[in-house]
Structure 1
């Protein structure tokens, strides 16, 4: 049972940050994960009055406020066009529309949940996390930072030429993913993000072009995704770079096999 002693709708990020320094005070994002737990919260800190529920698109980036719901990023025309539907695909299986109208981007990213589709897809893009105290941190660095009492303000996704695909495997349509996979190509590199292993997403990056990728040992020339044999070998190698665990949804060996299949399919879909 969730017990909240005091509720505060803050008027500034500074007020929220100061309140959040106390151990038993907690930020309310969407609240959908928090309410499941059996815990007592001294002060629940509500950020909903700070205007952090907006998606701003400029010529150079998307700025996604921490209180933006998953439903909003699912419906956003600009994000859909930029990612060729990958953002929409990453969230459309998450429980249902009612749930996605509550769950927030900030809660999904800050929680760094092992099952997070949202973390997996944003990790495959050039994403920066804006923290109130620590400032701008790349998402690649943020996923390994210790949990603290900072506040996630927004995500900044750089707009640059990109090809990206997202796929997942689920036992049932609206359940947590067994494996989540995002593959992208930008800045002359291939980026492979695998989540739900069942720990949080990790990233493997390989240079494209004339150089030989570290570890894989073969060049990935332009149009490599059309070479089925090369893609199959690459997908198997990428899947081997991640660690996997077992839980009631799937075993480690099964997850590894599925990851290789999803990576191969995602790479092949980049040529379309």
Structure 2
């Protein structure tokens, strides 16, 4: 269980940023789902709930998801269900139970770059960006690849395009973390194949994605692309599955995702 020495509820993001950087161990509070599982002493815990970061907004060009938006809000959002074949609500709806999804936040999940995250994998298949208070606008893939910085994630921005998308995951049991998850998207002739829970953080299989966009969309091509995706990415073993099993799953789930976006 974690302990908090001081509890702060800032009224501006600048105030929150100043508090965060006063001490190295000062911590932003999201849903606290994973803080509860560890043992940590926090000099100052910073609650962002008064900053209006829990909204999902849409304009003609983009959709914005505030950092304090819960997974449950993502799941039931009419905006997100109406775009990208509902890939983001589909990605979060199997995560543990409703009670858990009511507290887990988008910002904490993305900023922590969790390798097991279904949400990050689905988001990576879209044209998504993170908006940081000091770091500004960064493509999600670049943000995931860089090291952790002490900043505040304000929101996720997803550009609205005519994108077909599919999400699939394999679990040992309902409510468990995924052994492997896969998201596939298609915009015109451009494809993205994202694979997560490898158990490393999600990555785009760039060679496989490129091949799929350039080739004839036949059964043979889909088979070749799924094999390539499983070869170009690395996999590891943990309590949920071996790296060999994950590689086999990758081929099967990528093939399933491609067929879905083409159907």
Q: State the match for 1:240 in structure 2.
A: 231
1:66 to partner: Cα distance: 0.1
Q: State the match for 1:64 in structure 2.
A: 65
Q: State the match for 1:132 in structure 2.
A: 133
Distance 1:111 1:48 in 2: 18
1:81 to partner: Cα distance: 1.6
Distance 2:91 2:58 in 1: 20
Q: Give the direction of change, closer, same or farther, for the CA distance of 1:161–1:203 in structure 2 (3 Å limit).
A: same
Report the more deviating stretch, 17-26 or 46-55: 17-26
Q: State the match for 2:222 in structure 1.
A: 231
Query: How high is the TM-score relative to the length of structure 1?
Result: 0.93
Query: How high is the TM-score relative to the length of structure 2?
Result: 0.96
CA RMSD of aligned residues (A): 1.6
Q: State the match for 1:37 in structure 2.
A: 38
Distance 2:11 2:188 in 1: 40
Give structure 2 stretches of 5+ with no counterpart: none
**For 2:149, what is the secondary structure of its paired residue?**
coil
Assess if the C-alpha contact under 8 Å between 2:208 and 2:228 holds in 1.
no
1:84 to partner: Cα distance: 1.1
1:198 to partner: Cα distance: 0.3
Q: State the match for 1:264 in structure 2.
A: 255
1:203 aligns with 2:198: no
Give structure 1 stretches of 5+ with no counterpart: none
Q: Give the direction of change, closer, same or farther, for the CA distance of 1:218–1:55 in structure 2 (3 Å limit).
A: closer
More helix by share: 2
Distance 2:4 2:239 in 1: 32
Distance 1:230 1:164 in 2: 19
Distance 2:98 2:139 in 1: 29
Assess if the C-alpha contact under 8 Å between 2:30 and 2:104 holds in 1.
yes
Deviations 1:199-228 (A, max 9, x none): 1000123698xxxx4xx599324xx1xx22
Distance 1:85 1:139 in 2: 19
Assess if the C-alpha contact under 8 Å between 2:198 and 2:234 holds in 1.
yes
**For 1:109, what is the secondary structure of its paired residue?**
helix
1:191 to partner: Cα distance: 0.3
Distance 1:144 1:218 in 2: 24
1:77 to partner: Cα distance: 1.2
1:166 aligns with 2:167: yes
Assess if the C-alpha contact under 8 Å between 2:5 and 2:44 holds in 1.
yes
Assess if the C-alpha contact under 8 Å between 1:178 and 1:255 holds in 2.
yes
Distance 2:70 2:245 in 1: 32
Deviations 1:226-245 (A, max 9, x none): x2221111111112111000
Matches within 5 A, 1:17-166: 17-21=17-21, 22-166=23-167
Aligned length: 262
